[in-house]
Amino acid sequence: MSKNLTIKKKNVDDKYPPKYTVKELKELLKSNGIKYGIIEKELETICNEYNIEKKLVAKGVPAVDDIPDEIQVLFHDSEELIHYKDSEEKVDYRNRFLIANVKVGDVIGEIIPGKSGNDGQDIYGVPVKRKTFKKTGVRLGEGCKLENNSIIATSEGKPAYKANTFVVNKLYKVDQVDLKSGNIDFVGNVEVVGNVLEGMEVKAGNELHVGKNVESAIIRSSGEIFIGGNILNSTVTAGCENVEKKQYLESLKSLAHIIDDLVDSTVQVKEHNLLGSKKDGEIIKILIENKLKSLPKICRNILNYNMSEGIQHSDVTTFIINKLLGLGPLKINNINEFDIFKELLDEEICEIEDLMVIPTSVHLAYAQGSTIEASGSVFVTGKGQYTCNIIALENIEFTSEKAVCRGGTLSAGSEIKLKTVGSAAGVSTVLKVSKKGRITADIAYNNTIFCFGEKQIMLEVSSKNVEAYIDKTGEITIDKFIL
């Protein structure tokens, strides 16, 4: 009798369960909710084989997103003609900057049309929506036109592209601002080749370039300011407030509220059949004439502002002219047309709000006893500043290695970068930034005051490689090496 039992297998016959048919597999997929994108060839392969690995039997169609229009800007902003290295060489700041101009017929921009995509569908038959984009509504300001997706200059001047608007700003050029020339107030770019003399005032709607000195004068510009010489006992402001733009913003917001009332009132009239079987456009016209009488005036204010800005056409003004004024409301077939107009208004409001504080900068060589303000940054490219009040919503930066910041108060929204601040005699200089700001200096003398928000600290010992900031504990930290 054997104690060990050995089992051996023997293949008597190869028998497999019945194969699925294509129809049966389809029913099985359908029972699991899969009804789209079934690949029949793979099902046939499965039905004809026994040893089946993983197979892709259903595949949805992915959505293809729309490709938005692309706006290409084909000009350069003002740029430096000469890049000076830190050396003993004499720097001629009068010829440091160039105003980039265009001639009539120059192409300053291009619209590259986008493409429409397609919605997709998953294997369960559920549509997959593509990402859609609105058609880019490029606005044209003064001095340019649109031809075959090209923005072309129609006048000579300096091109600009801001808030989705192309414009060619005209240039006013004068040798010197004095009693003979009178004060200057120009809507475009202003270039003063020489000096701005005592008691004079220059105001520019865009960039302002002064080749030499500004002495006991007032300089204001909505764009960048470049001063090649010295600023003495003067006031220089870049990014001045635009009252008309504020009024335009208020008109846009008022129109948006009126449109909401108009839509709500139209819906109520239709629901209660208050005016019989009148069409939407007829109801809207009656409501404007009897209930919303301020709408035409607000619309005209909006049109007047665009005309004053040289904007020939935009989606907002086109809708106002065609659908809101005169007999225009009768052209409205459905109240839903206001949905698109409200989106256009909201976009316009956002753009104007962004423009209310345009970051524009001041570039100067040397300043003394002056007030300098910028909604962007202040760049001191020459000898520095003495007892000035400098305010920048972004940064204040001294770029020349030998630049000295001595006395006065400097306030920046973010960062102040200095070479040498203060003096060996202990002249007090106040440096202010926000709580998250940073102040750096190659050399900082004693009596320099560092302010971060409401907190401040005075440097007691002259130091080098100074970096000041608020640390994690909320206290002012000054990293430095003693001179």
Q: What is the mean pLDDT of residues 65-71?
A: 86
Same domain, 85 and 222: no
Domain boundary among 109, 144, 167: 167
Domain end position, chosen among 139, 167, 195: 167
Residue that has been written with the tokens 């902003």 in this structure:
77
Contact 263, 345 (CB under 8 A): no
Higher pLDDT, 476 or 25: 476
Same domain flag for 179 and 327: no
For 162, counting Cβ atoms within 10 Å of its Cβ (0-12 exposed, 13-18 middle, 19+ buried), the class is middle
Rounded Cα distance between 460 and 385, Å, is: 22
Q: Which of 227, 191, 228 is nearest to 206 (CA)?
A: 191
Are residue 225 and residue 248 in the same domain, yes or no?
Answer: no
Average pLDDT, integer, range 349-370: 87
Give me the percent of the chain exceeding a pLDDT of 70. 90
352 domain residue, yes or no: no
Q: Burial, 276: exposed, middle or buried (Cβ in 10 Å; 0-12, 13-18, 19+)?
A: exposed
pLDDT at 87 over 50: no
Same domain, 234 and 376: yes
Q: What is the pLDDT of residues 251-305, one digit of tens each?
A: 999 999 999 999 999 999 888 888 888 889 999 999 999 999 899 999 999 999 8
Query: Which carries the bigger pLDDT value, residue 27 or residue 267?
Result: 267
pLDDT, greater one: 192 or 9: 192
Q: Cβ neighbours of residue 268 under 8 Å, at least 6 residues apart? A: 274
pTM, entire model: 0.56
| Nearest-5° Cα angle at 210, 386 to 394 | 60
Q: Does residue 66 contact residue 114 with C-beta atoms inside 8 Å? A: yes
Tell whether 233 and 373 lie within a shared domain.
Answer: yes
| Overall number of domains in the chain | 4
Write the DSSP symbol of residue 424: T
Same structural domain, 234 and 363? yes
Residue 153 · residue 159 · CB < 8 Å? yes
- CA distance linking residue 175 with residue 211, whole number of Å: 9
Domain holding 284, by residue range, is 243-340
Of 422, 417, 420, the closest CA to residue 443 belongs to 420
User: Has residue 347 been placed in a domain?
Assistant: no
**Given a cut of 60, is residue 100 above it in pLDDT?**
no
pLDDT at 98: 43
Asked if residue 380 and residue 439 are part of one domain, the reply reads: yes
The residues, ordered by sequence, that sit 6+ positions from 408 with a Cβ below 8 Å of its Cβ are: 385, 386, 387, 388, 389, 390, 429, 430
